[in-house]
Each structure stands twice: as C-alpha cells, then as structure tokens.
Amino acid sequence: MPARFFWRLGGQASILLWACLGVIFGPSRVEADNQRVIIEKPQGPVEARLPCNRAASPYCDLRLYQVMVSSFVDGNGAVGAGSAYGPGPHSGDLAGVIQSLDMIQAMGFNAIWLTPIFESHAGEPQLRVSGKKVVNQRLDGTGYYPRDYFRIDPQFGSEADVRTLVDQAHQRGIKIIFDGVFGHHKGGITPSPTGIVPATSNRVSDYFGHPENYPGQVVDFDQPQSLAFYEEVARYWIERFGIDGWRLDQAYQLPNPALARLSQIVEEAASVRPKSGYVVGEIWRKADDIRAAYGTSEAPGLTSAFDFPTRYALVQVLASDEAGTKNRPARTLVEPWALGAHSNYPDHAIPNLMLGNHDLVRFGDLIERAGKGGQEADSYWARHRLAFTFMAAWSGPITFYYGEELGAEVPGFSGRTGQNCGKSQTCDDHIARNMVKLPPVNAKESEVLPKALALRSYLTELLTLRKVSPALSSGARTHLFSDQDVYADLKSLGNEKYVLIMNVSDHARRIRLTREAVDLANLRGSRLLIGDVGVQSSAGSIEIDLPPLSTGIIQLQAVH
C-alpha cells in the first residue's frame, strides 16, 4: 500500500489501521477496547552522534538566538540602514542588541548569531564580474554583500559597539557568533591588513549561468590567496574583538578543504575561551548535499550545519512549508530525507536545528498559511509549544530566530505573494525581516498578547531544562514510535533517560511504553518535567494520555 494512502487517513481510522499493521509488522500493538497503542520495542535504531553523545563536544548545548541586526531593535536613532529587503523598519543596530542582552540571557540563550555587519559601502555600485555596475541600497542594508571585511558598517554602529557587545555578552555567559559571507562579496574588496584580496571566479556556473545579474562577485577558492584572506578575516575578529565563532553564509560556495581549514583555525584562535570556536554552515539544500559538505572522517568539511531537511519536516507536520506542503503525518520526521538522513552523516557531524531565519517565513505565518488559525486560536500557540519542545530535545545546537519566542507573525501576511512581491516587500525569502515588540526592550508587556508572554515563559522553562539535563542536548536518540498523530523519542546519556512525546493531531491519543521499549529493566516510575500530557506509572510500564496538540518531556526513574 503506498505511503500516501496513510497520509490521507485521519482520526480513529488512521490509528486503527496503522496500529493494527504494527501488530503484524512492527514493535507496537493496539488494544481493541480503548485503542491504546502499546509500544514494546523501539521503531528505530539508536542515533548516537559522536561529538555529542560520546565525545562531549562543547557545542552541543549551544542555544543560539539569531538577530537580523537591521530589523531587530533600534537602540541608536542616529544610525540604521533605513532601506533593506523586507517589511522593516530597518532601523536596527548594534546598540539595540546590547540593550537586549538581559532579555536574551533571561530566556536561557547562551549564544547570539548576528547577521553581517561589515562595511558594504552603502550606496556605492556593485562591481559585477560582467563589468556591470548597479546600485542596490536595499541589498546594502542586509549586510550580505560586504566590501570591507575589517570595518564595521556605520549603518549598524561602530567598533566600540562591537567591543561593548562582546564584553557585556561574555559577562552574561553569552557567546557572539558573527556571520561570515566568505563565498561572495560586492566587488572592489578592501585588502586585508597584510595586503591580500580574494580571487574572483570567472566560471559562469558559479553565477547560476548569468554573471551579469549576480549582485557582486563569487570567490575563487582554487586560488590560494582566497582562503588566506578569509583566514585572516576569521582570526581578526576573534583575536582583536573576542568573538566566539562564525556562521558561514552559503557555505556550499566553499570547497570542503576550505571549510575544514576555517573550522580548524577558528577553533584554535578562540580556544582561550571555553566552548568557543563554533563554526556552522548554511547548506540550504537536501540531506545528500549537507552530507557532502560534512565530508568524511578521513577528509572532513564542515563540523556543523543547519538541518534544513528536519526543519522542513517539522513545519510540514505542524504547519505548512513555504511551498504549501502541509498536514504531513508525525512519522514524516523520521523519513530518510529528514532525521533518517543522519545515519549517513560522518561521526563528526553536529546538525543544528532551527525553526526559522531571516530567509524563511515566520512559523506563525506558516501556521496561518496551513489554515490552522491565527493568534486568536489556542492551536496557534499549541503548535509553537510542540515545535519548541521538539527542538529542546535535539541532540546538538539549536537556533531560534528573534520573535519566535513570542509567536511573532507579520500582520496582514500569510499567503504567498505572487510575482510582484519585491515591490510590496512581501517575498517569502525576506518577509521575516520585520521589527517585533520585545518587552521590556522596545515595548511594554501590556503591548503584547498574554499568550505570547506565556509562550516565552514556556520556552524559558524548556531552555532551563535543557541546560541542566545533558541527555536532551547531548544524548543518544532512540526513535520509539511514530504514526499519523504521535511522535516519541527516547533520549539517553549515562543514567539519564527522557522521553519526548508529541500528539500533533486534533484528537486525544493514549500510549503505553513498556520497560523493554525504553531499555530500562528496573523501570520504577516517571515524572513529567514539562508539557501538558498526562503520565501514570504502573508495574513495568508508563501510561501517557495525550490531549489534542499536546507534548511533554518525561523523566524515567529506575530502581537503584
């Protein structure tokens, strides 16, 4: 029977059909009287990522808060890009980030990723490889086509602001991650302090076949001066200003040897501070491309990359992706193209899970795009809690985009805008660059919905739990069960065992976990640490009642 048949089933029919097939083929069975699914063995294998579960990588518990500097918080009215892509307003600056440090710390984040803040010479023309010169003030306002990598763009602030930001962040236990646009630039690059400039690629394929339309120049890493230049950039901001790591924009533009070398020199340069030296790459492509960028154990590439495939699976299950794929079953999360792809990653790989970013539609708008209701609906907030809880149990770093903690959306936007989206600044790839009310930084709590504040409190509880429960951030993941509605994982590290469970449907479910399923012969009981599911323990098993759109993290207890 084709898988798509199951996806079209709903309600109790899907429970019965899937669970009954489990009696024949799988490690679960259903009781005819109450349709309770009894999980007797895990559905999936153990996933034990080497850097987190067995080698105690310092990066696994990074809890990153991403800031789009130009649209975050206006802390200094005298600066600001003014013009950039997205609804804006684009008056954000480094002073606004500094003013937000207490808020970010209070939520439980221990790292901030800033979008690029290097000098772009705003208003000056791009020097395209074709010889064409074009002024694009909006693109200059994003920071993603720099011209001088060794100066701060005055649109965002000053070097003094960077020093203040880094010093005050470190006092709060927060790392600062810069955004490295190392595969392309605006052209006319300012030489490094040692006089190096990167080489420019003349390969038409690097410009998607149209170099005349590409807004700048692509770097040619076949020429040794290119890597030497960006090594100097990476070291400069670590050694002189104390930043803690780099996010690599469009990391597929860099060959694996360059990715490995940059990761190595960043880790070495930042080694004077504990848990510093993190490098994460953007490979906004399928799992096979991400695996290729990781390289192999013998010839490594990236150490960490954003897990776009699992992110797409998560939003397809709980909301909709940008293309409109929605109402996917919970078991989508473990399909071979999503979490299932991890088995093909090398042991050094550390996937970083995010829900959104500056190039994606906000999760709140994707819920609305799926027809699941807006901020007036309880389900809107429940779906956020489901997504956040799944992320809190992720082995490896996690990244939240500013405003997600409050369930932010873009007012008046949810559906995809057509060909004229650029004119209205509502294209999917920049609609999330809007300024959000973030109390107490730029708004009062009374200006924000009570349910939004409750969601932020819930996320704070999750991040606090993650901080004190290493099995959540660094544990081996065993997939216990998933069907149309329910998803359950076991997280294990040493003597710690936790169960993540979710019901993504609009009807109640009941699950029983046996001691064999959770590999705990001396199972004594359990305790709900966070969430809204009901948990009862009996001899050798755990009974879990899952209301519609509910989730929880459950601690397993053993007899000693």
Q: What is the pLDDT of residues 369-425, one digit of tens each?
A: 999 999 999 999 999 999 999 999 999 999 999 999 999 999 989 888 877 888 889
Whether residue 76 lies inside any domain: the answer is yes
User: Residue 497 is encoded by which pair of tokens?
Assistant: 């065992």
If asked whether residues 308 and 384 sit together in one domain, one would say yes
Count the Cβ atoms, other than its own, within 10 Å of residue 421. 15
Whether residue 370 lies inside any domain: the answer is yes
Per-residue pLDDT for the chain (560 aa), expressed as one digit of tens each? Answer: 233 222 222 333 433 333 333 333 357 665 644 568 999 999 998 988 778 877 778 899 999 999 999 999 999 999 999 889 999 899 999 999 999 999 999 999 999 999 999 999 999 999 999 999 999 999 999 999 999 999 999 999 999 999 999 999 999 999 999 999 999 999 999 999 999 999 999 999 999 999 999 999 999 999 999 999 999 999 999 999 999 999 999 999 999 999 999 999 999 999 888 878 999 999 999 999 999 999 999 999 999 999 999 999 999 999 999 999 999 999 999 999 999 999 999 999 999 999 999 999 999 999 999 999 999 999 999 999 999 999 999 999 999 999 999 999 999 898 888 778 888 899 999 999 999 999 999 999 999 999 999 999 999 999 999 999 999 999 999 999 999 999 999 999 998 999 999 999 999 999 999 999 998 888 888 999 999 999 999 878 999 999 999 999 999 988 76
If asked whether residues 12 and 116 sit together in one domain, one would say no
User: Residue 364 is encoded by which pair of tokens?
Assistant: 């709140």
Looking at the structure of the chain, the number of domains it has is: 2
If asked whether residues 459 and 491 sit together in one domain, one would say no
Q: How far apart are the first and last CA of the chain?
A: 46
b/e map 503-532, b = 16+ CB within 10 Å: bbbeeebbbbbbbbbbebeebeebebbbbb
**Is the distance from CB of 218 to CB of 212 less than 8 angstroms?**
no
Which run of H or E residues covers position 149? strand 148-152
Domain extent, residue 540, equals: 3-47+476-558
If asked whether residues 33 and 78 sit together in one domain, one would say no
If asked whether residues 394 and 457 sit together in one domain, one would say yes
If asked whether residues 356 and 497 sit together in one domain, one would say no
Tell me the three state secondary structure of residue 281. Answer: strand
Final residue of a structural domain among 410, 438, 473: 473
Q: Hey, which bits of 252-380 come out as E strands?
A: 278-281, 304-306, 350-354
Final residue of a structural domain among 423, 449, 473: 473
At 30 the pLDDT is 59
If asked whether residues 140 and 217 sit together in one domain, one would say yes
If asked whether residues 15 and 71 sit together in one domain, one would say no
Whether residue 52 lies inside any domain: the answer is no
Whether residue 54 lies inside any domain: the answer is no
Whether residue 484 lies inside any domain: the answer is yes
Whether residue 272 lies inside any domain: the answer is yes
Nearest C-alpha neighbor of 42 from the set 539, 559, 520, 543:
520
Whether residue 53 lies inside any domain: the answer is no
Model confidence over 287-325: pLDDT tens digits? 999 999 999 999 999 999 999 999 999 999 999 999 999
Final residue of a structural domain among 458, 473, 488: 473
**Is the distance from CB of 352 to CB of 400 less than 8 angstroms?**
no
If asked whether residues 269 and 248 sit together in one domain, one would say yes
Q: Tell me, what CATH number does 35's domain have?
A: 2.60.40.1180
User: Residue 248 is encoded by which pair of tokens?
Assistant: 């690599």
Whether residue 13 lies inside any domain: the answer is yes
If asked whether residues 464 and 501 sit together in one domain, one would say no
Q: Tell me, what CATH number does 250's domain have?
A: 3.20.20.80
If asked whether residues 284 and 139 sit together in one domain, one would say yes
At 142 the pLDDT is 93
If asked whether residues 435 and 535 sit together in one domain, one would say no
